[in-house]
Each structure stands twice: as structure tokens, then as C-alpha cells.
Chains A and B, each alone.
Chain A
Amino acid sequence: MKVGSNLEKVLAAGHFAATGELGPPKSADAEVIRKKAGLLRGYVDAVNITDNQTAIVRMSSISVGVMLLQEGLEPTIQMTCRDRNRLAIQADLLGAAALGIPNLLCLTGDHQSFGNHATARGVYDLDSMQLLNMVRAMRDDKQFACGEEISVEPRFFIGAASNPFADPFDFRPQRLANKIAAGADFVQTQLIYNVPKFAEFMKRVVDMGLHEKCYILAGVGPIKSVGMARYMQNNVPGLDVPEDIVARLKGVPKEEVRQEGLKQCAEIIQQCREIPGVAGVHVMAIEWEAAVPQILELAGLLPRPQV
């Protein structure tokens, strides 16, 4: 056990993990956090808090993580390389660890040109691979990036992202292996809609033995509308939304699309659960946090194990 967070304990005990995600508000309104926390409390093993997701300024991941701790939820903070250099990242992580945040997801981050400050300078002092390696060395070697010793090291259960659908497809399992070598204890994948392609990716991952070195959480998320499905199909780089996913939502009356989306998501979870090497799911229902308990109920993942 690296850290003994709830998420790590659930995974280590061999339970099929279920995590959620919470998007902080574009304001200083703490009430939003309490409300969203109430929707997820008790239904997930940990909650990811995005870090200026899609390069749009929001309440900081670490501060929302502290609020979740106060609300009785376990946070997984996200840290991107877009907005901070290695000094700021290390400083913030020392603080996050001191404040009791146990899980950390290391990301490169969406490019600033996609967000609401498109003229901002992008930092990218480190990339996600270097970030993973730095955080692992801080924890396991008690060392800052410069090599200096840390007297009280920040201990995180370290996560990484993996996109099974990005190009070049053949390289993706190896990239995951590289992230594990750099320091990833667990991995969350990009949103999965093309399950057969994900299964093919996982077969290679299992052949390489990566599922024994790292917990792999399948990323899933409900689709709210046909429009959203089309948008994701055509406009989101790195997402693979097959036509049958869209067709199914088109095939029901408009007022039933949301419910169908939930069912579809629950079925994808069940399909992913059958794929060897998958240790859990990460449900991304940003700005639709209320959907998470329903999806997990439909998928047969409630109640959550007490560890």
C-alpha cells in the first residue's frame, strides 16, 4: 500500500472501483461544491476535481479538494502542466499533501487555446510523464525535482491518464507502460464509447502485464442529448464515438434521451467490467453529477464497499 487512501484500499482489496468527477464552479461560490458533494457522497470511492478543465478558469482543484474532505468525500486532485512550472507544482503538492489530500491525477492539460484565456502563455515546463516521475520521486525518494531532500515528503496515490483511442493506436499501450514506469499507481482512461476498440487496447495491455503493475480504471460518461453525442463525435479530439451510440439515442423520444444515456453508460460499465485487466470505472458526468448514483445503481455497483 502506497498511501492507504480509500481508493487505493478498495482497489487493493480487489473490489471493482467506482470514482466520480466534480467540476469546480467559475466563481468563488462554495455552496456549489457542497451541493455537488451531496450528490456524490457515499456513491463513489473517490472524486476527481478537475484543474481548470478545458483551460477555463475555475476554482482551484486543491481548494475544492479540501472542501470535499470537510464534506466527507475522498478527493483526487488533478494537476496539469499547462498553468504551473515545476516550482509551483511542487509547492502546491506540498500544500495539498499537508491538507490531507491523498490521490493525485497527473495530466499535461488541455491547451490554453481551447479555453477562455486563449492569449495566455502556456507553461508546459514539464509534461505528464515528467510530472509523474517527479511526484513519484518526491514520495518514494524524498527528493525535489532538483535533487534536494524533502524532510517530510508528500505522499500521493498517483494517477495518470491514458487515451486508448488516440493515434498512433499501436503506441498507446507502450505509452501506458512508460507512464507506469514513470510513477503511475492507477490510470484513468479517456471516455470509452467504442468498447471493442478499448477491449483490443486492453488485450495488449494485459499481454504486456501492465494490469498487474497498475490499476486501470475505464473512463465512462453519460451522453445527455443527440446534439452532445454528435459534438463529441465530430469536435472532440481523441474521442471515438461510434455511430451506433448516437443512433441509439436518436431512436428514443426526446424526453427519454437522458434516461437512455444513463442506461447506455451503465451498459458500457458492465461491458468494461467483463474485459480482463479493468480494475474499476471512472464516471465523468461533469455538470451532471446527479447522474452518477443512477448510473452506478443500474450498473450494479452500489452500495460501495467499506474498506
Chain B
Amino acid sequence: MIKAKLKPIAEIREMLAPYEKVLILGCGTCVTISFAGGEKEVGLLASSLRIAEAMNGQAKTFAEATVQRQCEWEFLDEVAEQINRADAVLSLACGIGVQALAERYPDKVILPGVNTTFLGMAVEHGVLVERCRACGDCVLGQTAGICPIARCAKNLLNGPCGGSQEGKCEVNPELDCAWQLIYERLERLGMLDRMNLFQPPKDWSKDYDGGPRKIVREDLRL
């Protein structure tokens, strides 16, 4: 799922400085699961902002709402009234939600309250890790189900670099070397010969290098 992280409160306060009536709008899907922008986080952020602004002598109001998904038009329409009452909306959804709001409400100031960080999962409670870069041309079939695009700092496709030490990455010793993991898993699967297959340069045009991407499913269009 999409993982996000709440922006620093100082940055949020600076963004909101020109506005009196602010709606903090959460999203009930990805950012709820990553504890960054769901109903609970909307409440916590609203409380801290109220305290901070009150101490500052500011007469600001912070309304709260959360929709099931900010990336679908129908859910955005449910909060039209609250949005229209606000001077600005602080969205705690990922960048998709922020942009959906901006498109649906062209006359309203929409601001991001979180940094959309990566596509990943919680490997344990409170530890979220990146797993996919949405490169548009999946190589997991060649790499034993471990992605070197998302998990190798150099996006290497032909084995580990010289900086791999005791299974850790030279960029950050807390990170596993993706190619060490690939090697070990191929060994376990009895497929180590895969390590010797030359992978030619990747087709990055299927990633964002080809420009913003779009999928049109003619079979699903109304």
C-alpha cells in the first residue's frame, strides 16, 4: 500500500498561516493503515494545531472529517459542504488524494499534510518498508521475488555491487543488500545459475521516464 508520513508540525503551521478556517481531511484507506492520515491522526493533528494556535493568540478553527478514499470522486462529494465552508483544506491523504481534491474543488486551496513516501508494507508493527517502485515492467520473475529496483540503492540488475558487506547495503548498514537476499533465495530454490544471466538495460520508458503514465481499459469504460 501507499505509505505516508505526517509533515513536521512547523511546516504545516507555516502552510496554514494565511487561513482562518481550516478543514483537516483524512483518508480511510492507505494512510489509515500506515497511521499517518486516518481519522485518529486527523483528531490528533487538529488538537495540536488548536493548542499551538491558541498559545499564539490566533483565532483559527480546525474542522475535522475523514472520507473512505480521497482518490475517488464519489467520496469527495460527500464532504462538499465542509470543504466549501473552509478557507483551506489540509489533506492527510497521499498525493493522489490531494490532487483529486484540487481537481474536484478548483476554487479551493488544498494543502498536503503528509509526505507520500513509498509503496510498501509493515514488516512488523511500526516498521514500514519500501517494496515496489511501480516501475511499470516487473522484474520479480528474474530476481527471486525480491525487487532490486525498489530495494537496491543503485537499482542494479546484474548482481551486488562492491559495497555489499555482510549482507548489508553500503548506503545504509541497517538495510539489507537486495542482491544478497536475491542470492540467498535463488540458492535455496536451486536456481543460482540465474545470477549469471545478463540483464540488458531496463526499459525505463515504462517508469516515469516515459512521462506520466495512464492505463485505459476499453473493456471497462462506460
Q: Considering the complex, which residues of chain B in the window 93-126 have a beta carbon less than 8 Å from any beta carbon of chain A? A: none
Is residue A304 contacting chain B, with contact meaning CB distance below 8 A?
Answer: no
Interchain CB contact under 8 A, A121 and B211: no
Nearest chain A residue, comparing its CB with the CB of B204: A121
What per-residue 1/0 map shows which CB atoms of B107-147 lie under 8 Å from chain A? 00000000000000000000000000000000000000000
Q: Bound state CA distance, A112 and B208, in angstroms?
A: 12
Interchain CB contact under 8 A, B211 and A119: no
Q: Considering the complex, which residues of chain A in the window 112-166 have a beta carbon less than 8 Å from any beta carbon of chain B? A: 112-113, 118-122
| Main SS at interface, chain A | loop
Interfacial chain A residues near B210, Cβ < 8 Å: 113, 118
Is residue B72 contacting chain A, with contact meaning CB distance below 8 A?
Answer: no
Instruction: Categorize the interface residue count of chain A.
Output: under 10
Is residue A111 contacting chain B, with contact meaning CB distance below 8 A?
Answer: yes
Q: Bound state CA distance, A302 and B48, in angstroms?
A: 72
Interfacial chain B residues near A119, Cβ < 8 Å: 201-205
Nearest chain A residue, comparing its CB with the CB of B203: A119
| Main SS at interface, chain B | loop
Give, as a whole number of angstroms, the nearest-CB distance from B105 to chain A. 22
Interfacial chain B residues near A121, Cβ < 8 Å: 202, 204, 207, 209
Interfacial chain B residues near A112, Cβ < 8 Å: 205, 209
Q: Considering the complex, which residues of chain B in the window 187-222 have a beta carbon less than 8 Å from any beta carbon of chain A? A: 201-205, 207, 209-211
Interchain CB contact under 8 A, B204 and A120: yes
Give, as a whole number of angstroms, the nearest-CB distance from A176 to chain B. 26
Interfacial chain A residues near B207, Cβ < 8 Å: 121
Give, as a whole number of angstroms, the nearest-CB distance from A272 to chain B. 34
Q: Bound state CA distance, A98 and B207, in angstroms?
A: 37
Interfacial chain A residues near B203, Cβ < 8 Å: 119
Q: Considering the complex, which residues of chain A in the window 76-117 have a beta carbon less than 8 Å from any beta carbon of chain B? A: 111-113
Q: Bound state CA distance, A112 and B204, in angstroms?
A: 10
Q: Bound state CA distance, A122 and B207, in angstroms?
A: 10
Interfacial chain B residues near A120, Cβ < 8 Å: 201, 204-205, 209
Q: Bound state CA distance, A113 and B204, in angstroms?
A: 10
Give, as a whole number of angstroms, the nearest-CB distance from A55 to chain B. 11
Q: Bound state CA distance, A126 and B204, in angstroms?
A: 19
What per-residue 1/0 map shows which CB atoms of A23-39 lie under 8 Å from chain B? 00000000000000000
Q: Which residues of A contact B (CB under 8 A)?
A: 111-113, 118-122
Q: Which residues of B contact A (CB under 8 A)?
A: 201-205, 207, 209-211
Selected A-B contacts with CB under 8 Å, 17 pairs = A112-B205, A112-B209, A113-B205, A113-B209, A118-B205, A118-B210, A119-B201, A119-B202, A119-B203, A119-B204, A119-B205, A120-B205, A120-B209, A121-B202, A121-B207, A121-B209, A122-B209
**Further 7 A-B residue pairs, CB within 8 A, beyond A111-B211, A113-B211:** A118-B205, A119-B202, A119-B205, A120-B201, A120-B204, A120-B209, A121-B207
